Amino acid sequence: MRSLLITGALLAAASGCGSDTDDRPQTLEFITQTILAPSCATANCHSSFTQAEGVILSNVDDARTTLRNYVSPGDVSTDDGGLLCYLLSPGGKDAPCKRMPYDAPLANADINLIYLWIQSGAEGLDK
């Protein structure tokens, strides 16, 4: 048990020491599979099973269809009801969008990757 705890502690410590450079691919496929699906497509939300608000983010094809309504390539404005509006909303009754995800905040690094993907033309959205 002691060795298990030590191993776990070492792995946990190591996991907080990643690179400052975020070189993850700025593509629809990568963002859907690694950020949107695990964070937003939970059973009762934007999974294809529940499709809350008609939004499906659990797989690349459905995410592409959905995000065409929420993303304009190159447009990173945050007050127009687009994807970034939901991800960056400060919340509150005066905010233009409700902050998403509802149940666990998204990491700034993930939001930044999505921001850069949109800014650079939202690769993969028009396939």
Structure tokens at 57: 């983010």
Shortest distance, position 75 Cβ to another protein, whole Å: 23
Residues in touch with another protein (CB under 8 A): 1, 4-5, 7-8, 11-12, 14-20, 22-25, 27, 29-30, 32-35, 38, 42-45, 47-52, 58-60, 89-93, 98-99, 101-111
Nearer to another protein, 110 or 125 (CB): 110
Nearest to 121 by CA among 59, 56, 76: 76
Shortest distance, position 86 Cβ to another protein, whole Å: 10
Shortest distance, position 96 Cβ to another protein, whole Å: 13
Residue 56 contacts residue 50 (beta carbons within 8 Å): no
Nearest to 26 by CA among 124, 111, 117: 117
What are residue 33's phi and psi, to 5 degrees?
Answer: -75, -30
